[in-house]
Structure 1
C-alpha cells in the first residue's frame, strides 16, 4: 500500500511513521529544516514506548513520488487550496484522498442528500478548486483527536491519543476504506469507520470553533477557558449557535454542550493549535473553523451573532499579529550588518 502524507508536520509525521512501521510504503511531503532533518536522519518518533528512528522517503516535490493509493492531507486546512496543483502527480485513477484536517472539508456536501447536495463552500474551498481538481469522489474523511508536537526539526513527540475516526462521504463501507482501516489498526491506531463521518467532524469542530479563537484572544489554556464563567458562557453560546445550524443539515451530536466543554477542560493546561500558531507567527485556521460555520448558517438563514463577533475579533487579531511580525522583520533587515545608511533611508 503506497501512502503519501502531504504535510508531514507533527501529526502527519506521527501518522506516517506509525504506518511505515506497520509495513506501508510511506512517503512524506514536507519543507524547511524539518524536511532536511528527516532526509538526513529519518524521523525520530518519541512515544510512550520510547524513541525510534523511522526512515521514510521525504521530499518537497510530489513529482518524485508518482501515483499513490492514498494521500493523507495533513496540512492546515487553509493551506490546502494552494497545493492542489502540486498534488496532481500523486493522483491516479483510484487514489483516495484522506482529509486529516480540522474543520469542515471541501467535500462536505458530496453525496450529502437534500437541497444542498453538491454545494461548494467558498470559505474552505475558494472557487471550488479542491472540488474541481481533487474531486469529492476521492475523499475519505478523517477526524484528528491525537496530539503531537515537533520537539525540534525531525523529532516528533506523540503527546496523547490514538483515535482517528474515518468515513466515506456516502457512509458506505467500501473496499478502500476497509483496507485503510486495516492498515491504520496495524499501525496501532483506533480507526472506527463511521456511518456518518459528518457527525464526528462536527463534534470535533464544535469545540474548535470556540476554544481556538478564545485561546488566541486571551492566551488562556483549555482548563482556564472552560472553568472561567465568562469564557465558558461565550463558548456555550457559540456552540449552541453552531448546533442550530448543524441540526438543519441533519447532524447528530452524541454528547451535549456541557459534556463537550467538560471534555475539553479535562485535557488540562493545553494551548490550542490556534494559540500556538499565533505565538509562532503563523497564519491561523480561521476560515475552516469559524467562517465556514457562518457561511453554512447563511445557507439556511440561521443568524450567528456571537460567532460573527468572535470571528471579527480573531480576524483582526491575526491582521495585527502579521503586521507586527512584518514590522519586526523589516527592522531586523534594516539593522543587519552590511546594510548602508543610504539603503536604510531608501
Structure 2
C-alpha cells in the first residue's frame, strides 16, 4: 500500500519506519530538520534491544501535491497541530483513502457515527467550528489508540522505548475490508493491532491516565512513578480519574480495568516523563485541550461535576500563557549552592 505519514516525531517515525521496513511504500510529509535528515539518510530506528535499523527507501516531502494520492494517511501530529495540516490533507485523498488518527485525547470525530442523542455533535475543544470534520471527513477515519512509547533522538532518528499496541476501530464498530487491510499492514510491521468494536472505550481507557498524569507531571515536573508513589499526588490523580469515569459513564462507556490497576500500570512504566512535561520543558504548547479541556466540555454536556479536573486544567492553561509570553519552556535546574 501507499502510506503517507504526516509527522515524523516519535510515534510517526516509529510507525512509518516499521511499515517501510515491512515493505510498504511510505512517504513522510514533514518539514524542517526532519525533512532534510530523512531525505539524506532515510529514517533510523533504534529498537528496544538496541538494534538499529534504517528504512532507506522512504520518501520525504513537505509538498502534499508531490506526495500524491495515498491508500492510507497516518495522521501522527499532536491534536493541537491537526488544524495546521487539515486544509492540505485532502490532496492525499483518492476515492478510498483511509485516515488513521493517532492523536491522544478526545478526537474531533468522537460523536460522528456515534448514535444516540449526541450523534454528529462537534467537540469544540478540539474542533472549533467543525472545520476538521469538514476537511477530514469522519467517513474516511479509522480510530486508533497509541500505546507505545518512543522518543525523537535527533532529526530522522527514533528510539522505541516500549510497547507495540495500536488498536484500531471503525467509528461504527463494524469490521470492514479496509480495517482488515490496515490491521494486516500494522501487524506485518511488528505491531499488535486488534480490531475493536468500540474504539471509543479504548480511547477513554488511554485518556483516563493521560488526563490526570499529564497535567500533574507538567505542573510538578515529575515522572509517572514519582506521581504514583507520592501519596497526595496519587490521590489527586485518582480523584481526577473518578470524575472522568463519571463523565464516560454518562456517555455509555465502561472501563475494562479498575482505577487502581490503571494507576499501577502507570507506576510500572517508571521514570518516564509524560508528553506534556516534555512539551513544557521544550517550550512547546502542551496538549491540554485534547487531553483535559475536551473532557471538561463533555462533562458540561452531560451535567457532570469535575472540580479536580477543572483546577488542573486552569493551572496548565495559565502555565501555557506564561510560556507564550516568555517565549520559553520551564525546566528544573540543579541548584547552585555556595
Aligned-residue offset at 1:110: 1.2
- Partners of 1:326 and 1:294 lie apart in 2 by 27
Q: Pick closer, same or farther for the CA change 1:240–1:327 going to 2, 3 Å.
A: closer
Give structure 2 stretches of 5+ with no counterpart. 331-338
Match of 2:51 in 1: 50
Aligned-residue offset at 1:325: 2.3
Aligned-residue offset at 1:6: 0.7
Matched position secondary structure for 2:97:
strand
1:41 matched to 2:41? The reply is yes
Describe how 1:30-109 pairs up with structure 2 within 5 A: 30-47=30-47, 48=49, 50-55=51-56, 56-109=58-111
- Partners of 2:133 and 2:217 lie apart in 1 by 32
Match of 2:121 in 1: 119
- Partners of 2:325 and 2:223 lie apart in 1 by 25
Instruction: Note if contact 1:9-1:30 (Cα within 8 Å) is conserved in structure 2.
Output: no
Matched position secondary structure for 2:53:
strand
Larger displacement relative to structure 2 (46-55 or 275-284): 46-55
Q: Normalising by the residue count of structure 1, what TM-score does the alignment of the two structures yield?
A: 0.93
1:2 matched to 2:22? The reply is no
Instruction: Note if contact 2:285-2:320 (Cα within 8 Å) is conserved in structure 1.
Output: yes
Aligned-residue offset at 1:327: 11
Q: Normalising by the residue count of structure 2, what TM-score does the alignment of the two structures yield?
A: 0.95
Instruction: Note if contact 2:284-2:329 (Cα within 8 Å) is conserved in structure 1.
Output: no
Instruction: Note if contact 1:81-1:126 (Cα within 8 Å) is conserved in structure 2.
Output: no
Instruction: Note if contact 1:20-1:54 (Cα within 8 Å) is conserved in structure 2.
Output: yes
- Partners of 1:172 and 1:8 lie apart in 2 by 30
Describe how 1:314-329 pairs up with structure 2 within 5 A: 314-325=316-327
Larger radius of gyration: 1
Q: Pick closer, same or farther for the CA change 1:327–1:204 going to 2, 3 Å.
A: closer
Aligned-residue offset at 1:326: 5.8
Matched position secondary structure for 1:103:
coil
Aligned-residue offset at 1:49: 6.1
Match of 1:340 in 2: none
Aligned-residue offset at 1:322: 2.3
- Partners of 2:4 and 2:66 lie apart in 1 by 11
Matched position secondary structure for 2:287:
coil
Give structure 1 stretches of 5+ with no counterpart. 329-346
- Partners of 2:14 and 2:62 lie apart in 1 by 18
Instruction: Note if contact 2:283-2:328 (Cα within 8 Å) is conserved in structure 1.
Output: no
Instruction: Note if contact 1:6-1:72 (Cα within 8 Å) is conserved in structure 2.
Output: yes
- Give the one of 237, 240, 245 matched to 2:239: 237
Matched position secondary structure for 1:101:
coil
Runs of 4+ residues over 6 Å off in structure 1: none
1:148 matched to 2:170? The reply is no
Instruction: Note if contact 1:4-1:26 (Cα within 8 Å) is conserved in structure 2.
Output: yes
Q: Pick closer, same or farther for the CA change 1:190–1:280 going to 2, 3 Å.
A: same
